[in-house]
Amino acid sequence: MKTELDSILEENNVESLFLYSDSSRDANMYYLTQFFAPDPFIYLKKINKDPLIIVSQMEVSRAQKQSTVKNVKSYFDYSYQKVVKSVKNPHIGKAKFIAQVAKKELGIGSQICVPSNFPLLVADFLRKEGLTISPMQGVVEKARETKDPQEVEVIKKIQQINEKVTSEAIDLVANSDVGANKTLLYKGEALTVGRMKAFFGQKLLENGCLPEEDIIVACGRKGSDPHYYGEPDDKLKANQPIILDIYPQSIQKRYWTDMTRTIVKGKASTEVKKMFSTVFEAKNASLDAVHAGAVGTQVYDVCCDVLEKNGYQTTRNGQKVTSGMTHGLGHGVGLQIHESPRINELSGSPLKEHVVVTIEPGIYNPKVGGLRLEDIIEVTKSGYNNLTTMETQLEI
């Protein structure tokens, strides 16, 4: 949470935080300011002091109205045009301007933290101005891990939209006819991955969300690759597993959610039914192991124990496998679809209260296909709050 930012800076032995980026693509900048801007601007914060943002003159009025940072200044307050014009190359001039602003606001001798993606040209000018900067990974990201009640509520509402649209998509599959070669037909035409994704895209957009990255609709053997997204011309088939991994982002709030369901139109094979029951058991066992203080590796081990007990391989202990579960168990979700913390064999840190993560075990068999189930949850002191309410059903 933002309230942890000062203590995180103290832990890293730095006195201030400095960002220069746009907030339309930089989740850290949007998190710190709640101001959506397509062009780069400046964020400065001294430890135990209120932050300051410096934006172009065009954006001052909007930033004052929309940003959670109350101290908003204009580039013109720092003689922007004069500094930029002082050199021939405007890119060099802008870097020089940013460095002079940092020098004025933070002072020489201050230990300044910048993110690992901080512009190199600007960093060079900061050092030329005598400032001490330390590129660090995971400072703002660590604050972002734990979600305040408002953030959790936003994710919960996006998940409700996700479930509504996914339920409608599953109904579409359930109500389809079966044609030649077990191809599913909807209104007389083949039900393809392209048609399914168009359906998701339209419905999510109508509800204020976008699948900004390609969602996964994978049928049959092709689904044995966990990140096979599905080609537009792929035809959905009866009696085969269909993985629906849907992760929309709110257009207004910028937060994401993530959910996976695997369905079969018609009758699932004996092996697919076993895969489903095993993954369902593994998901529930993993959820039961979650609570604040639980170590990610231990939760992952619980999942692997269930899978291996039922005869499926995992990548635990570095095993190279081509079937079974070939990925980790979960990841954080927030302003990015994949963020900290991770839940896998390398996750040695305890889960914190109020982190939002996925639990998504899966089994993949190149001869059959894939089967994955995924819920999104908030970790609590004694367990978890499941933000996913949609039922899990294999055959439809």
- The residue ranges of every structural domain in the chain are 2-144, 146-386
391: buried, middle or exposed (CB in 10 Å: 19+, 13-18, 0-12)? Answer: exposed
Reduced to 3 states (helix: H, G, I; strand: E, B; else coil), residue 288 is: helix
The token pair that represents 236 in the structure block:
């959905």
pLDDT tens across the length of the chain (396 residues): 999 999 999 999 999 999 999 999 999 999 999 999 999 999 999 999 999 999 999 999 999 999 999 999 999 999 999 999 999 999 999 999 999 999 999 998 888 999 999 999 999 999 998 999 999 989 999 999 999 999 999 999 999 999 999 999 999 999 999 999 999 999 999 999 999 999 999 999 999 999 877 899 999 999 999 999 999 999 999 999 999 999 999 999 999 999 999 999 999 999 999 999 999 999 999 999 999 999 999 999 999 999 999 999 999 999 999 999 999 999 999 999 999 999 999 999 999 999 999 999 999 999 999 999 999 999 999 999 999 999 999 999
For the full predicted model, state whether its pTM sits above 0.85. yes
**Residue 220: CB atoms within 10 Å:** 19
Parallel/antiparallel/unpaired status of strands 52-55 and 71-74: parallel
Rounded Cα distance between 238 and 116, Å, is 48
Instruction: Specify the DSSP class assigned to residue 291.
Output: -
Domain 2-144 listed as CATH 3.10.450.50: no
Give yes or no for a contact between 303 and 285, defined as CB atoms under 8 angstroms apart.
Answer: yes
What's the CATH architecture for 146-386? Answer: Alpha-Beta Complex (3.90)
